[in-house]
């Protein structure tokens, strides 16, 4: 069974990112919290309304 190892927080970045190894492969996974309790299977991530109510990036 594959497992995630070396899960590391990345401080002082402009976007949230998870850095980890999965099955021997290093992965940097950027993500954003969206204001949905349940994510529908047909969610169109190109629709900018999905991004309403998320934090603005710090400049």
Q: What is the pLDDT of residues 22-55, one digit of tens each?
A: 888 999 988 777 778 898 999 888 888 887 777 6
CA atoms within 13 A on the CB side of 36: 12
- The answer to which of 5-9, 10-14, 21-25, 26-30 has the lowest mean pLDDT is 10-14
Read off the pLDDT band of 57 (50, 70, 90). Answer: low
CA gap 52, 35 in Å, rounded: 8
Strand partners, 19: 8, 28
pTM: 0.51
3-state secondary structure of 21: strand
Asked if residues 55 and 36 have their Cβ atoms less than 8 Å apart, the reply is no
Q: Are 18 and 33 in contact (CB under 8 A)?
A: no
């Amino acid at each position: 069974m594959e497992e995630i190892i070396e899960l590391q927080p990345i401080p002082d970045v402009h976007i949230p990112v998870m850095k980890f190894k999965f099955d021997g492969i290093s992965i940097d996974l950027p993500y954003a919290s969206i204001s949905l309790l349940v994510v529908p299977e047909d969610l169109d991530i190109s629709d900018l309304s999905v991004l309403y109510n998320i934090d603005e990036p710090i400049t």
